[in-house]
Amino acid sequence: MSTTGGRRPWADRGAALGDRLRGGGKGAGVAVPPGDGEGRGRALPRGQGEGGRRALPFGAGGLSAQRRRGLLRLGGLLAALALLVALVVVLVGDRDPENPNAIVYRDAADTKGPLDILSAQMNQAGPQLVLTLRTAGIWTPGQLAEQPGRSVCTTLFAKDEETPSSKVCVSSREGAPALELTRYRDGRAQAPRPMAGEIRRRNLRLLEARFALRDAKVPLGKFRWQVSTLWAGEPGGCPPASLPVAQCTDRLPDGGTSPGKVTEPLLLGCTWPDPSYVLNGPRAKRVVALTFDDGPSTYTGQVLDILKRFKARATFFVVGENVIERPGDLQRVLREGNSLANHTFTHVSIADADPPAARQLDRSTAAIREATSFTPCLFRPPFGSKSAKSIALTRRKGMKTIGWDVDTSDFKRPGAQTITRTVLSQTKPGSIVLMHDGGGPRDQTVQALPAILRGLRAKGYRFVTVDQLLGVKGRYA
């Protein structure tokens, strides 16, 4: 497969300049007066005086031999430089004008089958990698499943590793496009498994696949990637997979891998869908959102430790005056994949939706933004005290009001076993569970949390943030 990206006008001009300097270009001549330009006289051919000057081409005695050699060397260098620039652009790729940090790799049509790669690029969008792939032919994910061996994959490598760290492939699941992840351990591929992500197709030649950096095991910093496709059978004139012959395969880049780099995602804000107030999420999937109010406090770090150990996520509704005292806790909340939300500045009711209530929202949002650069778009009213006016006020401030459908009453200190039993008995698909990591002694909540996580996971629940539960979209730098 070739990575030729088309003719480059500057390369043509550089080569033309070299030709002209050698005297071979069209119209390559100049009028040369008596003398060689350095004050020295020169004998003109017979019949020519000062009034009979004629155009002499380069290399025909118009310049001194030393200057001609210098100009010829300069022309050759310019032509070589233009050719080198063109080759670098072809081999390294074109910068995407809409995203100057992304490199688009282009390739000529050089193999049979619809999966001949014409271009590919890998870009970072917050906590996700985005692969954009354009093929010569049209295809559907369903066709990939029709014959064994058909595949569209991107292989990811750590910066200095020879063996892959993971491979992400497009597959068909229940007739719909899906992603499949293969991880590598000690150089050996593990069994493929379904992968969370998103596939967009504007047309049948263009693929955009989004997946989490964390799921693909891509570390911060530099990494490498390569896209590969394989097509077997018809349509496309490719041998069927059953024949022991070379199939229609393609790679981009052709040889080696492409460099990439990921940075720490910086979450700036979010946008949310209607309605403005909810008690729970959709009931279709066995997911649950654990939430913690009134922090941060000395208990917040303990809660985060447990969540990290169980690879679970939660949402923290924080009080602004506590944020000022413990900004590091908020930074860790976001760094470990959890969510932050507003819970007023001093934990007071805003049901009256008066100017003091508006200031409570503004001051808490400002404290969160100062600590993390993140602007929250979720709010929980203290004591659950709300009104139509307060919900409207919160909406004007850019936030959705969040309630709960499972109340542990852990602030009453009923005991860790009671807290656990309440959660396990009342949780339903899409539930939002209310607990506390601040506002008083929360040792019972910390003690109950591991049993809650184990018990819900045994029932088939996955742990998501409120943002994930309700389809809130993050906005990243």
- DSSP-assigned letters across all residues of 329-382: HHHHHHHTT-EEEE--SSS---TT--HHHHHHHHHHHHHHHHHHS----EE--G
> Is the Cα torsion angle 157, 159, 162, 163 positive or negative in sign?
negative
Q: What are the b/e assignments for 20-48, b being 16+ CB within 10 Å?
A: bbbeeeeeeeeebeeebeeeeeeebeeee
Round to whole Å and give the CA distance between 384 and 466: 17
Q: Which of 293, 294, 329, 437 is catalytic?
A: 293
Round to whole Å and give the CA distance between 155 and 166: 6
Q: Which of 215, 436, 437, 467 is catalytic?
A: 436
Active site annotation includes 305: no
- DSSP-assigned letters across all residues of 96-131: ETTEEEEEEEE----SSSTT-EEEEEEEEETTEEEE
- DSSP-assigned letters across all residues of 233-296: STTTTPPPTTSSS--EEEEESSSS-EEEEE----EEEEE--S-SEESS--SSSSEEEEEEEEE-
What distances in angstroms separate CA 401 from CA 357, 388, 396, 409, 415, one per listed residue?
14, 11, 11, 20, 29
Burial class (CB in 10 A: 0-12, 13-18, 19+), 450: middle
Active site annotation includes 12: no
Three-state DSSP class for residue 433? strand
Long-range pairs for 86-91: beta carbons < 8 A, 24 or more residues apart: 86/8, 86/10, 86/11, 89/5, 89/8, 90/3, 90/4, 90/5, 91/3, 91/253
Cite the active site residues. Answer: 293, 436
